Structure 1
């Protein structure tokens, strides 16, 4: 006999989709926090440069996660109906902003022409000649995209909480592991 609880369990996303979602959340929060933190550090200081290098390394990791996430969603990820057209628009906009943010990050690094140490393992250099005009342009766009992601993701999270606590539906439960064993 199927209970309502069983239906909720079956209505969730697969393990990979859930993992990639929360990994993206953690990486975005870490990247945003680092960028906001180094603004309080002296320009050119070793601590600031170290934080920026870590930010770039994690940004490259985010790029990989986004590519895997999009590939998974396009090929094998479980697609569930969204609550509304607005929710669908927010999801697509977040994907678009994340991709744009990664591209802008690479372009910014290229325009800065500074090498960095990838997780302390090896040095990566994007270009050899600095372009100040593009550095500022890409930097401003990268910052605007970061704030757009944070605001939109915050609204996305707030909507999930409204669904959970006010509307008392199971939308939020979809993004958490279920008690039943999950299949990849």
Structure 2
């Protein structure tokens, strides 16, 4: 028997908003450091935090996938079936892009042959050799996938706002933080 819920569970909402915050920070930090002089403490610091958050993102996405497959509560979609299919496809693409981005980021770092640590506490050794010659290609792909994530996440946000303001349904409210009654019409 399936229990109908009107909102995503707290852990799903937390995963969603943490992922959004980390993606936005990582995208912004990469574009900020590109405008800073090489070797400056701020540039190196942003890169270090970016790398550490990339490791955290890998753990976060793995946890999201496990939680999703194990049955975190999901409200029943109340949109047209074609829109539901599009939403599922977009979510699937976001997961695939995030997984690809994590893999590309790790491989790019390993191709650079530089230490790869989580906030200086432990390093992530390469499980295989990544040829230094691939560094430029991996970096370019990492940048391209970052833009794809931002564009698709932007469409995702626009769709949520469209549901809220045009359709007048509860799609956006289901993912907002706060108590159940805080966002009722």
Answer whether TM exceeds 0.5 for this pair: yes
1:37 to 32, 39, 43: 32
Hey, what does 2:51 align to over in structure 1?
Answer: 56
The alpha-carbon distance between structure 1 residues 141 and 81, as it changes in their structure 2 partners (threshold 3 A), is: farther
The alpha-carbon distance between structure 1 residues 77 and 127, as it changes in their structure 2 partners (threshold 3 A), is: closer
RMSD after superposition: 2.3
The alpha-carbon distance between structure 1 residues 11 and 130, as it changes in their structure 2 partners (threshold 3 A), is: closer
1:76 to 71, 75, 83: 71
Hey, what does 2:155 align to over in structure 1?
Answer: 155
Matches within 5 A, 1:16-165: 16-82=11-77, 83=79, 84=83, 85-124=85-124, 126=126, 131-165=131-165
Unaligned runs of 5+ in 2: none
Cα distance in 1 for residues equivalent to 2:41 and 2:126: 21
Structure 1 residue 72: deviation in Å?
Answer: 0.2
Query: What are the superposed Cα offsets for residues 49-108 of structure 1, whole Å, 9 maximum, x if unpaired?
Result: 221111000110011000000000000212334442211111110000001100111110
- Whether contact under 8 Å (2:15, 2:60) holds in the other structure is yes
TM-score, L = length of structure 2: 0.84
* Aligned residues between the structures: 173
Cα distance in 2 for residues equivalent to 1:58 and 1:48: 15
Q: Is 1:167 matched up with 2:161?
A: no
The alpha-carbon distance between structure 1 residues 41 and 92, as it changes in their structure 2 partners (threshold 3 A), is: same
The alpha-carbon distance between structure 1 residues 122 and 88, as it changes in their structure 2 partners (threshold 3 A), is: closer
Unaligned runs of 5+ in 1: 1-8
- Whether contact under 8 Å (2:5, 2:76) holds in the other structure is no
- Whether contact under 8 Å (1:164, 1:171) holds in the other structure is yes
Cα distance in 2 for residues equivalent to 1:51 and 1:176: 29
